[in-house]
Structure 1
C-alpha cells in the first residue's frame, strides 16, 4: 500500500514558524541514488540485455523513514497565491507595482520591435501570459527598474521560453507599458471586442477627424491607453452605469487618465476629435489600430 506523510507526521507548522529543520532536504546523487541502487537486483542472460529489478516497496519505506519521518506538515496559511486573470483588479495591481518599481512608457523603437517579433496570435498570447505572471510577482515584491526584464524572468523566476527573445530590450520599468502593448496586440490580432453599447459605427466625418488626429500626433501610446481603458472599464458588467455611451471619448479618457494620475498628453487635448462619442469607441479604436498597421506595412 502507498504510505503518506500523514502517517509519519503528528504535527503541523505554519509558514511564519517554519525553520530549516522542518524542511525536507536531500541531494539526489549523494542520498537518493545510493538508496535506490542498494535496492536493485541485476540479472544477466547470454545474448540479452542486463535486467534490473527494483524493490519499490522497500525503496518507498526507506525514503519515508530517512527523509520524511519526523517532518511536520506545513500549512498553507500565509502563502501568497496567484489569482485568475479574470479576477484581477488590474488598476490596483498597476498602482502597487508603480509604488514598488518606477514605471515609464516603452520607447517607440522597442514597442515596434516587440510588435514585429511577435508575429502570430499564439506568440502574443504566450508573451502576455509571461508578462501577466511577472506583474503578479512584482506587485508582491519589488525589483530594480533598470534590470533587464528577461534577466529577471530567467534568473529570479527561473523561466525559460523562446518568446523571451522578443522582450530582450525591455526592463522592469517597462512592465506595465509592455502589458498594455501585449494586451492591445491580442485585440488587434482578433479584433473581436464585443461590447454592444460601445459599438456604434463611425461617420465619414468621424473618420476624417481621426485621420487628422493621427497625422498630427504619435498615436501609439494613446492607442495603448485607449485600449487599456476599454478592457479594464468597458468590459465590466454595468459599465454603462459609470461610463455613459452618450459621453464624449475625449471627456471619458481625460477622466480615466486623471484617476490614474497620468498626465494627459498635450497632443490629445489639442487634436483629438471633440464630437466622437463613447458609444463609438470600439470602432474608433479599431479604425486607428488598423490604419496604424496599414501605415507600418506600407513603410
Structure 2
C-alpha cells in the first residue's frame, strides 16, 4: 500500500477493483491512515507506539526465514485472502504481540507508561463492562455516549461552521451562479481583503467535522424542504476538503458540491436530537419538554458540545486509578460510574433539541443567481393539483386573525413551504383539507396561525394562501421601515425612472380603494410568480420580464390567469391600459411600495 503513496503507476492503480474514481495516491494514503487509527483503537497504544510496533513487525518479517521461503500467491478471491491473512497473522503478528505483552518483565522499559486517553477509557469500558456476556450494563448513558461519540465530538465545531457559512452566504447571495461557485476555490474567497472573519482558520472546523461524519453519510438520506429525500452522490463520498476545494462545498445546497455541507449539518443535528431523545428515555425525562431552538439561534450551550481533550479528558483523569507494580507493569482502573455521573452533570445537563418540522430539519441554503424560484415550485404544484383563489372575504378574515404579527406570519409561511414541497411531489385531491394533511400526515404541531385558514383551506388553495401570507409579510416589513423585498437581487429592484412616479401617483388618485387594493395584490403576485423567475440563458424563446412594461405583464395575466376560472373584473382593460407604460418589471418593488403608501394615505383620509 505504500507504493501508490510514493508514486503512481498503472500497475498500482490496477490493484483496486472496481477502478477508483478518485486520486489513487490519496485513496491509499487515507486507507493507511484509517488502518493506523484502527490499530490505535484496538491496542489502546498511542499513535507513536503504533508506529514503533509496525516498524518492529516489519523488521521481524525481514529477518524471518519463513518470509524468505514464502511463494507469491494470487489473492484473487475473498476466501483465499482470508486464509492468507490468518496464516500471516499467526506467523508474524502474533509472536510480536506476545513479546510486547511481556516487555514489563524488563526493568529497562519500566520508565515508559501507558497513556491515559479518552479512546483508551471508552475501549476499556466496552471490553470490561459492555462486552460481558449475560450481564447487562447498568451504565446505559455511558454506553449510549460511547456509541455516538464518533459523531458527537464534532458538535462543538458547529457554531464556527454556521458563522462561516452565514458570512459567505450573505456575501455571495445572488452574486454567484453555481458554475462560478464551483470554479472559485476557498483560498480565493479567503484572499478577499473585505472578509470580516478568517475563512481559512474557521475552515479547519469544517474539515474536522466533515472527516468525522463523511463515512456515516454513505448510506444516509435526509428530507429537505423543496427536494424531498436526498442522498450523497458517489462523487462526493470520501471527498477530501481543503483550501483548494470549490467554494461551493461550504455553501449549503441540496445539489452540487454544497450537498456535502447541507447533509453534514443535517446529519449532525439529527444525531444530536436522536442522542437527546435516547438520553431522555434512559433518564426518565420527557424529550418533548426540552426547549426547541432553530438553526439561526443555535449556540454551543444548546448542543451536546464538548472538546474531547479539554472537556472530557479531565473527567477521565479524575475517575482513574493509575498504579505500577514491579514485575507486572502498569495497571489502570477506571471508575466508570463516577465518569457517567459527571458526564450527565457537566456535559449533558440543560441541553435543547434542534428545531424539526415533520420529517425535516430546516437548513439555510445558499441562494444562487439563477436558483429555482417559487414560480417554478408552484408551476409544478398547479400541474399536480388545480389551484383556486381564496375569496376576498376569506382573505380579509385570515389577515385580520394574523393581527400583523410578523413571527406568526413567517412561521406559517415556513410550514406552508414544507407542505408545498410534499404536495408538489405527491399530488392529491384538490378538496382535501390542508390542515388535516399538515397535522395527520406531516405530524406538524403548529401549522397556520389563522383559525379561518385552518378550517377553510384545501389543497386547491395552497398557492393563494401562500401568496396572501407572503403579501402580508411584505406589508408588515414595509410598515416598519424594512426591506420588503430583501430576498431579491438588486437588478430586480431598480427605482422608478424620472417622471414615472408622478404618472403613477396620478393613476392612483383616479382609482378607488377597492381597485388599488386589488392592484397591489396583483402586482405582488405578478412579481413573485412571473418577473422574479430566472431566465434560462439556453432558451432562445425565453423573455426577460424585467425589461417588459408592467402594463403589458398585467394584461398578460388577464389573458392567462393563475387560476382556472374567469378573470376578476375589479381591474378592467381600461384601467390597465391607463397604467403608466414607462414602468417596467424591474421597477415593481418601488412601484408596489409607492402604491402601498398612497393606499395607506387614502385609508387615513377616510377614517
Matched, 1:95 2:379: yes
- Give the corresponding residue for 2:554: 253
1:80 to 224, 229, 232: 229
- Give the corresponding residue for 1:229: 526
Alignment of 1:96-245 (within 5 A): 96-118=380-402, 119-161=404-446, 163-166=448-451, 167-168=453-454, 169-191=456-478, 192=483, 193=485, 195-200=492-497, 202-215=500-513, 217=515, 219-220=517-518, 222-235=519-532, 242-243=544-545, 245=547
Distance 1:163 1:139 in 2: 19
1:286 to 593, 599, 604: 593
Q: 1:237 to 1:134 in 2, by over 3 A?
A: closer
Is the CA contact (8 Å cut-off) linking 2:503 and 2:580 kept in structure 1? Answer: no
Q: Deviations over 1:29-73 (max 9, x none)?
A: xxxxxxxxx8465xxxxxxxxxxx548549989xxxxxxxxxxx9
Distance 1:79 1:106 in 2: 27
Distance 2:580 2:441 in 1: 49
Distance 1:110 1:85 in 2: 35
Task: Report the Cα offset of residue 156 of structure 1.
Answer: 1.3
Q: 1:85 to 1:207 in 2, by over 3 A?
A: farther
Structure having the higher Rg: 2
Distance 2:228 2:395 in 1: 36
Distance 2:579 2:229 in 1: 46
How many residues are paired up? 238
Is the CA contact (8 Å cut-off) linking 1:150 and 1:164 kept in structure 2? Answer: no
Task: Report the Cα offset of residue 103 of structure 1.
Answer: 0.9
Q: 1:112 to 1:139 in 2, by over 3 A?
A: same
Structure 2 portions without partners, runs of 5+? 1-134, 148-217, 231-252, 255-364, 537-542
Distance 1:102 1:233 in 2: 18
Is the CA contact (8 Å cut-off) linking 1:184 and 1:224 kept in structure 2? Answer: yes
Look up the SS of the partner of 1:197 in the other structure. coil
Look up the SS of the partner of 1:274 in the other structure. coil
1:269 to 561, 564, 573: 573
RMSD (CA atoms): 3.9
Distance 2:144 2:442 in 1: 37
Calculate the TM-score normalised by the size of structure 1.
0.63
Task: Report the Cα offset of residue 128 of structure 1.
Answer: 0.9
Q: 1:142 to 1:56 in 2, by over 3 A?
A: same
Is the CA contact (8 Å cut-off) linking 2:508 and 2:598 kept in structure 1? Answer: no
Look up the SS of the partner of 2:511 in the other structure. helix
Task: Report the Cα offset of residue 116 of structure 1.
Answer: 2.0
Q: 1:164 to 1:203 in 2, by over 3 A?
A: closer
Distance 1:55 1:120 in 2: 42
Distance 2:464 2:366 in 1: 17
Calculate the TM-score normalised by the size of structure 2.
0.34
Larger RCO (CA within 8 A; separation ≥ 6):
1
Distance 1:58 1:126 in 2: 34
Q: Deviations over 1:266-296 (max 9, x none)?
A: 4242213332422643333123334555667
Distance 2:529 2:557 in 1: 11
Q: 1:296 to 1:146 in 2, by over 3 A?
A: farther
